């Protein structure tokens, strides 16, 4: 939450960097703990079915964060960046999402694909989805939960319990500059 660069953020309580939330928590650490607990509990429930479209992705996000944010499942409306890296401008999110989600129709993302082809395509998809960062918060958890569904469909299920944040986060950061090798290695560990 605090790692984002946003100015005059309508998602936050006035004069703070704490996101407005359903529990009305005003402390960033308490909100972070609450968000993690609630999204983890929701992730243990069946994720929404769908056609692997942007609308399906928004439903997965809503499922995970419905207890925390009233805007869960809606694209962000503010410009934001992290570590100086700008994410997609809000006015471009819908068209970028349509483009990226078109990649899910590729043979590498469908049943019958080889593990190597799936890993290449999955790393590319995940890197582009992360660069869009369509939601104000919780993008990483949504991305991984959705990739779990994509992997299941393709016959290459990902075991998310194996995610190691200390190595996965740097791989996601490297993917922002199109260095997909580390991300591919991280995804391989989840197969």
pLDDT per residue as tens digits for the range 16-72: 999 999 999 999 999 999 999 999 999 999 999 999 999 999 999 999 999 999 999
Distances 171 to 125, 146, 179, 181, 184 between C-alpha atoms, Å: 14, 18, 8, 8, 8
CB 98 within 8 A of CB 151: no
- 53 CB neighbour count, 10 Å cutoff: 14
Query: What CATH code is carried by the domain that includes residue 175?
Result: 1.10.3290.10
Residue 142 is predicted with a pLDDT of 97
The Cβ-side half-sphere exposure at 85, using a 13 Å CA radius, reads: 15
Q: What is the pLDDT of residues 114-150, one digit of tens each?
A: 999 999 999 999 999 999 999 999 999 999 999 999 9
Buried b (16+ CB within 10 A) or exposed e, 84-122: eeebbeeeebeebbeebbeebeeebbbeebeeebbbbbb
Q: Which pLDDT band, with edges at 50, 70 and 90, does 174 fall under?
A: very high
Quick one: average pLDDT of 167-174? 95
Residue 2 is predicted with a pLDDT of 44
- 72 CB neighbour count, 10 Å cutoff: 23
C-alpha 62: how far from chain center? 12
Residue 108 is predicted with a pLDDT of 97
Backbone φ and ψ for 42, nearest 5 degrees, come out as: -65, -30
Q: Which domain holds residue 68?
A: 4-190
Residue 11 is predicted with a pLDDT of 96
Number of domains in the chain: 1
Residue 4 is predicted with a pLDDT of 57
Residue 127 is predicted with a pLDDT of 97
Give the H/E segment covering residue 160: none
The burial class, CB within 10 Å (0-12 / 13-18 / 19+), for 70 is exposed
Quick one: average pLDDT of 178-188? 97
pTM: 0.92
DSSP, collapsed to helix, strand or coil, labels residue 127 as helix
Residue 84 is predicted with a pLDDT of 82
Residue 1 is predicted with a pLDDT of 43
For residues 15 and 137, what is the distance between their CA atoms, to the nearest angstrom?
Answer: 18
Helix 54-65 to helix 93-102 angle (10° resolution) is 110
Question: Mean pLDDT score of the chain, rounded to an integer?
Answer: 94
């Amino acid at each position: 939450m605090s790692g984002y660069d946003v100015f005059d953020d309508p998602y936050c309580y006035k004069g703070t960097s704490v996101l407005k939330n359903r529990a009305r928590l005003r402390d960033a650490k308490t909100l972070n703990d609450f968000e993690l607990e609630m999204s983890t509990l929701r992730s243990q429930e069946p994720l929404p079915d769908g056609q692997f479209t942007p609308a399906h992705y928004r439903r997965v996000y809503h499922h995970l964060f419905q207890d925390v944010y009233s805007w869960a499942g809606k694209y962000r409306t503010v410009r934001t960046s992290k570590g100086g890296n700008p994410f997609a401008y809000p006015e471009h999110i819908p068209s970028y999402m349509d483009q990226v989600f078109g990649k899910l129709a590729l043979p590498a993302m469908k049943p019958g694909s080889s593990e190597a082809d799936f890993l290449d395509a999955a790393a590319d998809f995940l890197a582009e989805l992360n660069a869009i960062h369509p939601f104000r918060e919780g993008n990483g958890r949504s991305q991984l939960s959705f990739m779990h569904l994509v992997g299941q469909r393709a016959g290459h299920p990902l075991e998310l319990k194996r995610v190691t944040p200390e190595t996965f986060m740097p791989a996601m950061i490297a993917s922002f500059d199109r260095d997909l090798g580390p991300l591919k290695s991280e995804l391989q560990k989840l197969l």
